[in-house]
Chains A and B, each alone.
Chain A
Amino acid sequence: MHKRGETGSQIMFVVFLSLLLVVGAGIVFGVYMFYGGEYEFRNEEAGALLVHIENCLMEKGIPLQSEFIKTCGLNENYVIGSKEEIMIKLCEIKAGEDCFEDYTAGTIVFGSNFPACKFAGRGESYPRCKSSEIALGNVEYELIVGNNKHARRILA
């Protein structure tokens, strides 16, 4: 009789199938990680908003907090209704004060989580921020814009 040791072959079949499953799971996971993530746009949008506000302040001076949105032609719902997704802060540069960290500083302030700007590279959930220094009159100001806004996928 020619015995072929079929049990060994059957075990190898299961091993092969398991290998395919593991490799397949890895490929599926990798593809979901790559294509599942959205197109990172927060930096560009923060930069565009920074430039927009800079131009506004240069042309029109510093408005009151209550008139800032209308004066600079911003969408009120975008800034105020965004639940901390959009942050704007204008601080006078003073020795010993950090516009990012100091909660009491700020001529114009929308939002509060400015210290999170410094953690941008450490996680997806932290906002992306841009800042610049502008001189208005004889005073130097620091302008910070933070953006943690994402596109929304909703039912049509």
Chain B
Amino acid sequence: MRFIKNKKAEGSDLFYDNAIYLVLLGVFLVVMVAFLQQQRHGAAVWEDYYVKAIVGLIERSEGGEQVTINVQRGTEVAVGNKMEDFKKMFVIDNEKNEVCVQFSVGKKTCMSYFNNVEILDWELKLGRPINKLHFRIWEGKNA
């Protein structure tokens, strides 16, 4: 008759029985965190943010303003999405009164502004020490 339990065997049995669940849980957590990080740093989110920030500044202007915007985060997202041409990241169309921002290859986000102003000296300056977008707002279009 055997009354002595093999406790060591029971402990290791318990571990091996549940190891698969722990592995599945670990994989699940890694996948969820990776997905969340991808959404947070997605191009669409940042394009939407920057295009509206720029349009908001233009719409509130009265003419004659010189604007400088810190776009470091946006350019980092764009470079992370394999965008190599910095000139395509921030584009102004004075004919259509529209700003377009592109942080990924293939799609861009555009928005028009209501005031009939001319945007001059539109330039993305890299480094020094962060990337900045410069432009000048001129009311001369109304003349």
Cross-chain contact B113 with A156 (CB below 8 angstroms) = no
Residues of B within 8 A of A79 (CB): 114
Tell whether A52 pairs with B28 under 8 Å between CB atoms, given A35-B42, A73-B142.
no
Cross-chain contact B114 with A52 (CB below 8 angstroms) = yes
Q: Is A155 an interface residue (CB 8 A)?
A: yes
In angstroms, how far is the closest chain B Cβ from the Cβ of A150? Answer: 8
Number of A-B contacts (CB under 8 A): 100
Q: Is A16 an interface residue (CB 8 A)?
A: yes
Chain B contact patch, size range: 35 or more
Residues of A within 8 A of B24 (CB): 16-17, 20
Output the nearest chain B residue to A40 by Cβ-Cβ distance. B52
In angstroms, how far is the closest chain B Cβ from the Cβ of A74? Answer: 6
Cross-chain contact A156 with B108 (CB below 8 angstroms) = yes
Q: Which of B111-138 contact A (CB under 8 A)?
A: 111-117
Tell whether A77 pairs with B96 under 8 Å between CB atoms, given A20-B28, A41-B52, A151-B48.
yes
Cα-based distance from A31 to B36 in the complex (angstroms): 7
Cross-chain contact B115 with A39 (CB below 8 angstroms) = no
Cross-chain contact A44 with B28 (CB below 8 angstroms) = no
* Chain A contact residues: helix, strand, loop or mixed: helix
Q: Is A98 an interface residue (CB 8 A)?
A: no
The 8 Å CB contact of A74, one of B42, B49, B51, B115, is B115
Cross-chain contact A24 with B32 (CB below 8 angstroms) = yes
Residues of B within 8 A of A24 (CB): 28, 31-32
In angstroms, how far is the closest chain A Cβ from the Cβ of B142? Answer: 4
The 8 Å CB contact of B110, one of A20, A38, A77, A151, is A151
Cross-chain contact B109 with A151 (CB below 8 angstroms) = yes
Residue of B49, B52, B109, B114 with most partner-chain A CB within 10 A? B114
Residues of A within 8 A of B108 (CB): 153-156
* A-B pairs with beta carbons under 8 Å apart, 29 shown: A16-B24, A17-B24, A24-B32, A28-B35, A31-B39, A38-B48, A41-B56, A45-B56, A48-B59, A48-B114, A49-B59, A52-B114, A52-B115, A73-B115, A73-B117, A73-B142, A74-B114, A75-B112, A78-B97, A149-B111, A151-B52, A151-B111, A152-B111, A153-B44, A153-B109, A155-B106, A156-B102, A156-B106, A156-B108
Known: A24-B32, A149-B112, A152-B110. 11 other contacts (CB 8 A): A17-B24, A24-B31, A31-B35, A45-B55, A75-B116, A78-B112, A153-B47, A154-B107, A155-B106, A155-B108, A156-B106
Q: Give residues in B with beta carbon < 8 Å to A.
A: 17, 20-21, 24-25, 28, 31-32, 35-36, 39-40, 42, 44-45, 47-49, 51-52, 55-56, 59-60, 88, 96-97, 102, 105-117, 139, 141-142
